[in-house]
Amino acid sequence: MSDCLKDGQSAKLSCAQKRRSNNITAFIDAAYCRTSTEIQRDKGYSVPRQKELLTEHARTKGCGNLTFYIDDGHSSADLERPELVRLRRDIEAGRIRSLRVYSYDRLFRSLIELLSFINFVQKHKIEFISLKEQIDTTTPQGNLQLQIMGSLAEFERRQVVQRVQDAMYHKVRKGDFCGGQPAYGYRVKDKALFQHPEESKVVEVIYDKFIESKSIRGVTLWLNKNGHKTKRGKTWATATIKRILWNPLYMGIQTYGKRKGGAKTYAPEAEWMREKVRGLEPIISKEKFDKVQSLIKARAFKKPDRRGRVYILSGLLRCECGGRMGGYTHPDKRKKGRSYSYYKCNDHIHKGSCVCPGNSFTKEDLEELVLQEVNARVNLKFDAKEKASAQLDGEASSNQKRMQTLQANLRQLSSKKQKLLDLYSEDGIDKSGLKEAIARIDSQTNSTNEEINKLSLELDPREQDMRADVFSQLNDLKGELFNLSRKTKQTILQQVIKEIVVTRDHKVKVSIYEI
């Protein structure tokens, strides 16, 4: 058995490290090009001209073929340019050795964004070269310039964060609304916060129902059963109800500074700022809010001890209703210290039977079934020729056709957006109509880009090569997959399985990645 799949090790990481140590061609010499307008192309900034200059520079440095990331017709203000997103992803994955641009402004025109990106590149130890500014980090002078720019980026970031914090603290002390998405029950008008007539009534019901039932899940099920929707028109989840029950804004008090610099960790509660919002009428009285907090604390219970319990199918399971399935452990009430484990539909647990009637599968039975399925289907042994053939087959797969469709959709959305802007400039559409239409197109564009990025990763030859290695190693195991540790099984399954759909009558469909 290969070292890549030794018990307790991460197969993906080990294989990647092994290839990189033995084969330097695993790294990419990248180049980024961008134009935003026809005017730029006429002034000599055309993509072919940029590619020509960058290729010539690479040749003089003895560099091999460049891999180009090209955003043609994209503004520098667009931080979610498709190829820029792909470039960032490849940098984070450790695939890139060097990055060339014709000029800094091909990446960003904003100094803050530029310096932040330079810092990002420096963090990943990538050689960075800008032809126009004559900065080359393969030289001591260029490396020093980049380090100085990285330091400037960090200094500027801290300055901006401090200025924003100072401004926000000042707004809170004045009693002004701090901005952002208003909580359910409120709406924003002229940068001020007001009660939403319909939503505020639902908030009152949420508090009253919780006091009556003392159950967050019970409130969630009641809302969904009676057809109430969230601000975004979705069904309710227990996590959303918790946030509403814990939020002092419903007493007219906003909280600021709960998190440390925007991080995921919370600051000590003593450091939080709590101030009344000027002119905001409370939805919930202080007495009722305090009563709810007492009930929540009184009903807090210790969850079952799950140390050492690994759900090897976590993140892969979907219920036939479309919701995710997660692992749940329940203590045996009849025998102390004993427990049972299941995979259950999260939507049924958190949203109720009106969203999903329920789907539960014993942990051991489902995992055994999936392992047998994977073991039966991974029956290929790859040599170099077969691996290359598998990659060629993958390029002609249904995923590749889907990618072509998505890219065509993206071009159509871009064309629609431009036509709307042209129509607006000719007074053929009013501003409010334009905003609504543009918002719909941007939403569709973002979801399309997300799917393109996901498919790009699946179709990436390097990812296919890595999966081919894992499939080959699994084939060599000849049934020993069952004898590996649970953590190792989880790592392997995450690499070879795309998705598992489980029906309520316990039929299981396992979708394995193409290679």
Q: Say if residue 264's pLDDT is above 50.
A: yes
69-80: per-residue pLDDT in tens?
998 888 777 788
Q: What is the mean pLDDT of the chain?
A: 77
**pLDDT average, residue stretch 391-400:** 54
| 80-135: pLDDT as tens digits | 888 999 999 889 888 898 999 998 878 887 767 777 788 788 888 888 888 887 77
What is the percent of the chain where pLDDT is above 70?
73
Tens digits of per-residue pLDDT, 186-222? 988 888 888 999 999 999 999 999 999 888 988 998 9
Q: What share of the chain is helix, strand, coil (3-state, %, to 5)?
A: 55, 15, 30
Q: What percent of the chain has pLDDT over 90?
A: 17
Instruction: Find out if CATH 3.20.20.70 is the number for domain 175-298.
Output: no
Side chain identity at 164, as an amino acid letter? Answer: V
User: What's the start-to-end Cα distance of the chain, in Å?
Assistant: 21
132-141, 407-416, 456-465, 497-506: least confident range: 456-465
Q: Which residues, including other chains, have CB under 8 Å from residue 41's CB and lie 6 or more apart?
A: 35, 47
* pLDDT for the residue numbered 199: 92
Residue 320 has pLDDT above 90, yes or no: yes
Q: What are the tens digits of pLDDT across the range 424-480?
A: 665 656 666 666 777 778 778 877 877 777 666 666 555 555 556 666 666 555 555
Instruction: Report pTM.
Output: 0.53
pLDDT(4) > 50: no
The half-sphere exposure of 392 on its side-chain side, counting CA atoms within 13 A, is 6
Please give the average per-residue pLDDT across 136-153, as a whole number: 69
- Pair 102, 54: CB distance under 8 Å: yes
- Which of the two residues, 365 and 397, has the higher pLDDT score? 365
Which one, of 236, 232, 233, lies nearest residue 205 by Cα? 236
Q: Closest by alpha carbon to 10, among 497, 496, 514, 489?
A: 489
**Secondary structure of residue 478 in the 3-state scheme:** coil
Q: How far apart are CA 417 and CA 440, in angstroms?
A: 10
Per DSSP, 281 falls in state P
Cβ–Cβ under 8 Å, residues 31 and 47:
no
Q: Do domains 24-159 and 175-298 have the same CATH topology?
A: no
Q: Which one is the CATH code of 24-159: 3.30.465.10, 3.40.50.300, 3.40.50.1390, 3.90.1150.10?
A: 3.40.50.1390
| Domains in the chain: boundaries | 24-159, 175-298, 303-515
Tokens of 259: 């998190």
**pLDDT exceeds cutoff 90 at 382:** no
**pLDDT value, residue 284:** 93
DSSP 400-462: HHHHHHHHHHHHHHHHHHHHHHHHHHTTSS-HHHHHHHHHHHHHHHHHHHHHHHHHHHHH-HH
pLDDT score for 223: 93
How many residues does the structure list for the chain? 515
Tokens standing for residue 226 = 């009676």
Contact assessment for residue 121 and residue 91, using Cβ atoms and an 8 Å cutoff: yes
Residue 483 has which token pair?
Answer: 């004898």
Q: Which residues pair with 341 in a beta bridge?
A: 329
Residue 226 has pLDDT above 80, yes or no: yes
Q: Tell me which residue has tokens 């963090």.
A: 123
CB 265 within 8 A of CB 259: yes
* pLDDT level of residue 417 (50, 70, 90 thresholds): confident
